[in-house]
Structure formats: C-alpha cells, structure tokens
Homo-oligomer: A and B are copies of this chain.
Amino acid sequence: MEKIRVGILGLGTVGCGTVKILQDNAGLLSDRIGASLEIVGVAVRDLSRRRPVALPPGVLTSDAWELIRDPRVQIIVELIGGIEPAREYVLQALDNGKHVVTANKALLSQYWVELVERAERNGVSLMYEGSIAGGVPLIRTIKHSLVANRIHSVTGIINGTCNYILSRMFMEKRPFQEILVEAQEGGFAEADPAMDLDGIDAAQKLSILVNLCFNMGISYMDLPFQGIRDLTLLDLEMAEEFGFRVKLLASAQRKGSTIEAWVHPTLVPVKHPLASVESVLNAVYIEDDNLGPSLLSGQGAGDLATGSAVVADIVSCARDILSGAVERVPVGGSRLGAKGEEPPRLALDTVSEFYVRVSARDQPGVLSTISGILGENGISISSVIQRGRETEAGDGVPIVMILHEAPSSKMTSALARINALEATLGNGFLMRILPGQEIRWQTP
C-alpha cells in the first residue's frame, strides 16, 4: 500500500490527539484513503518529557528544520501555536512545496494574507480546520458545502472557556470569580485566562471566519472585541428576566458593501438556537442566500476533537497527492485578488440594540441625567429596571436599561459620559442584544 509521509511539529495536547488518532484509527484511515499515513518525525522542544503517546524509536526529534527540509515529508503539520517560530516553519514548509496543516489561530489571524499568498505561490494547500471550534466542521462547511451561497451572517459561540463560565454562573447562580477559580482547577480555563476572558481568542477565530466567508484579508486587531470579566451575576439574572441568555458571541454580518464584525457579551433570545448551547460546547449559526439559517455545534476543543479536525485536513492533503490534484481548492475559499465579486470592507461602526447596567448613587435625578445623556446621543430607552436602595457598602444602586438600536460609537461615548458622572460609580457595563432570529428558526 502506498504511503503518505507526514512530519508533525509540536506534541502538546492537540499533537498527542493527532498522533493517537493516526495510530488508533490507522486501519479505518487506510480504507478511506487507499494509502497509509506514516509519521516520519515529530519535532519537540524537550525530548525527555513524558507524553501520553508512544512513538517508534527515531521518530521524535528536537530539530523541526530537519523535517521541513526532509524531501520524503509531503505534509507538515504545525501544532506548536503562537507566532514564532511557527510562522517561519510554515512559510519555509510551503516554500519547500509541502502541504501544511495547522491549528494555529494566532498565526492565521495575524498573518492571513502572507500565509495564503505563500501557499498560492507555491501551489500547495494550507489547511486550518482545527483553528476554530475543533469538534465543529466549520471551515470545510463554509469552503465546500456553502460554496454556492452568499453568506449574510455568521454568529457563534467559539470560546469554550467563556461559555463554560457563563453556563455555570447561570445554572448555579454564583459569581464570576468563584466559577473562574473552579474552572481553572478543573482544566476548563488556563492559568492565565486573559486570551479567553478578554475576547482575544474569539476575535482571532472571528477574523479567520471573516476572511473566509467574505474573501477579505483582515487581522484580528482590526476587530472590536470585549470579554466577560466585568459581567456580574446580576446581568445574567436581568437578562433572564427580559427573556434572554447571556453568551460571548463573535459575529460578522453583511450590510450592503460592508461587514459589521465584533466580539461582545450578548443577550441572546431564549428561543434562539445559540441560547441553549451550554458549557464547553461551541456552535455557529450561519445565514446565507440559499439555506436560510443553519446551525453547527459540537465540542470546541480537546485533544481528540481538534486532533480529528487536524487528521481530516491531513487526509484531504493526502487525497490531493494520491489523486494528482494540483491547486484544487483556494486556501481562503476564493483565490486572493479574485474579482468576480468585489470583496466588502469592514464597517467602522456597527448598529445594535444594547443592554446597559450602571451603578448609581442613591440620589434624586440620576435616572433623568443618564437618560438625558442617552437622548443627546440619539439613543432611546426601551425598558428600565431599578430596584432596591444603596447599601452601606456604597456599591451603588444598579440601573439596568434595554436600549433601542444605536451605533456602537454613540453608545460607547454616551457610556463614557455616564461613567464620568459624580452620580455613578464609573463601572457601567454594556452588552449587545441579538435580534429575535428565533422566529425564522422556529416557524416555517
């Protein structure tokens, strides 16, 4: 049986999952590919570290360049993560004519155009199903199943850590900090959780989705993102009272020739299919011109979930090699610079309904001052809830408002002025509100 030779860079969680699947499901993979996948080498930094997978003698190496230069290796699998040296490795592997499979969202979200351009120039594949929502067949669905469709919007829960924390806060009615500590102990949050909690991880993934869905070339740094650190149990309870669940959403929506894209804590109508996606699950809701809405959901991360996405990409490259296919599918869905359709540009401002929570001093006229500021910014109020009196702790009286549609720039500057008021505690908190798409989902 013919052999396809693979070199793997990195043997962390996803690397071990990838190796385990290649080993455990070797028979099944040969049946499906018509060839066997051989791991020629796995490059690691520390050869002596104990790992949960066993490799034949001589496969483990500390020299990544050796694999990248090895003429036998046909596919390089980059699972190191981070920017350097991953970027250098990937670019050289592409230049050496090897197909590259990566799960590196940080790299893709910062160097998209360079990487895509390099793969195209060398006529090889660069595949990245594992970079977003490992257990959800997202990239392949967009590139292949939706190839005939014009995507209107893509909105998802694509950070498992945040969803886990929000789900447990809601279910157990316990505060953010307590759940975070337990999540860290249980392995559901990193020791340094900043990338997840501040929305950076979700923004990185969203930038890849934007580039893929709309034939663009943005970096995640072009996107507005806000995380969940300032969210309180009160916000979840208020949201529930208004008929919503709170989720950290990443969303990109076509509006004419622009794309409105953002990562933000968001009120999701309880009947919307994203509202009931709990715990570490990821889910993505897509609307396009032909399908209407569709939903893909599953495990967002994990050694085997992401490993299986990586192996699926390896198989795709192997099938190209075996079938003689050259440049079969553009890396980014369309070829760079394809101009049958003018790519849209990123909107500078985005419009949404908003939820605002302000902690106010218990003194007369506060609400009138706040609503005055909103009014001056052209923002009108849909509902207000103010309950109780200020306690001796001096943490203010929470005022919660649901606001009608407004540009986020107006909303942000209104909130800055409200935060600056003597009569507030300066910690006003903002969430977006997802329109009631449940109607389209649940009725014919």
* Contact digits for A15-46, partner B, Cβ 8 Å, 1 yes 0 no: 00100011011111111111000000000000
Partner of A311 from B148, B296, B323 at Cβ < 8 Å: B148
Do the beta carbons of A144 and B312 come within 8 Å of each other? yes
Binds B, one of A107-115, A273-281, A351-359: A273-281
Do the beta carbons of A147 and B32 come within 8 Å of each other? yes
Copies of this chain, count: 2
| Cα of A334 to Cα of B30 in the assembled complex, Å | 9
Given A28-B341, A32-B333, A333-B32; A279-B144 close (CB under 8 Å): no
A294 interfacial by beta-carbon distance below 8 Å: yes
Do the beta carbons of B305 and A291 come within 8 Å of each other? yes
User: How many A residues are at the interface, by size bracket?
Assistant: 35 or more
Identify whether the interface residues of A are mostly helix, strand, loop, or mixed.
mixed
Determine the chain B residues whose CB is within 8 A of the CB of A293 once the complex forms. Answer: 298-299
Do the beta carbons of B319 and A328 come within 8 Å of each other? yes
Partner of A297 from B294, B324, B327 at Cβ < 8 Å: B294
Determine the chain B residues whose CB is within 8 A of the CB of A291 once the complex forms. Answer: 135, 298-299, 304-305, 308
Determine the chain B residues whose CB is within 8 A of the CB of A164 once the complex forms. Answer: 444
Tell me how far the C-beta of A323 lies from the nearest C-beta in chain B, rounded to whole angstroms.
Answer: 4
Partner of A309 from B145, B296, B305, B442 at Cβ < 8 Å: B145
Give me the interface of A with B, judged by CB distance under 8 Å: 17, 21-22, 24-34, 129, 135-137, 140-141, 144-150, 164, 186, 188, 215, 273, 276, 278-281, 288-299, 304-305, 307-309, 311-312, 315-316, 319-320, 322-330, 333-335, 338-341, 441-444
